[in-house]
Amino acid sequence: MAHYLFEKPFPARKLLSEHYIRILQKFYKDKIETDIGEGYNTHYSDKNFEYEIAQKFIEVVKETFVFDENIICEKNGYLGTQAFGKFYPIKSWVYCQNYKYSTSAWHSHINTSTINAVLYHNMPKAGGELCFDIFGDKFEITPKEGHIYIFPYWAYHAPMPQDDDSWRVCVNLELMTEQRPLTKSGILW
């Protein structure tokens, strides 16, 4: 499965630490108090945070994939891609959990991206793994802080519950291209 899951260093720990409380507050307000919108995550819309995360994400994508850099553009303060005649901003979608609040739902990003990624902050001491089902092969990883995990838009995955009461933050990032992604090792996603 090494061709379908990439773990890369991602220097965002300081940024995540600075925004940790605000991310939790936004998630709590949107998903626990009022349950706004579909799904289990919410958009953390701090423009400076999103811009910096998107810049770092794009750099990792360029290192990992054969990639047409001409599709990268900026609009309304967002970095994103131009694909299918429209702009797809790279937004920071956050999911937070602890042992009292978690949702372990299998899902993919087949309708919203071609390259999907997640990064974590405040990982629990026990639990909180990320499970995958890629071509019927189920496996799990224990995410590390300071790393980003990149996988295909069609890969089914689910966060697992954790055993402690600290809040783990997961930031989900999506990038849209018109072509299926091609890794630098020649694997077509």
- Cβ atoms of 172 and 113 within 8 Å: the answer is no
Predicted TM-score (pTM) of the model is: 0.95
Residue 116 located in a structural domain? yes
- Determine how many CB atoms are found less than 10 A away from the CB of residue 117: 24
In a domain, 97, yes or no: yes
Where do the DSSP E strands lie in 28-185? 42-43, 65-66, 72-75, 78-83, 86-89, 93-97, 115-121, 130-134, 137-141, 147-152, 156-159, 168-175, 182-183
77-118 pLDDT, tens digit per residue, is: 999 999 999 999 999 999 999 999 999 999 999 999 999 999
Q: Residue 136 to residues 102, 109, 140, 155: CA-CA distances in angstroms?
A: 24, 17, 13, 10
- Determine, yes or no, domain membership for 183: no
189, part of any domain: no
The model's pLDDT over 18-54, given as tens digits with 9 standing for 90+, comes to 999 999 999 999 999 998 878 899 999 999 999 999 9
- Which whole-number Å values give the CA distances from 162 to 10, 123, 143, 150, in the listed order? 23, 9, 12, 22
Please give the tally of structural domains in the chain. 1
Please indicate, yes or no, if residue 11 is contained in any of the structural domains: yes
CATH at 150: 2.60.120
pLDDT single digits (tens) 65-80: 998 999 999 999 999 9
Residue 110: inside a domain, yes or no? yes
Please give the pLDDT value at position 2.
Answer: 85
Q: Is 185 domain-assigned?
A: no
Q: For residue 152, is it within any domain?
A: yes
Question: Which one-letter amino acid corresponds to residue 94?
Answer: V
Domain of 155, in residue numbers: 6-34+46-177
Mean pLDDT of 114-139: 96
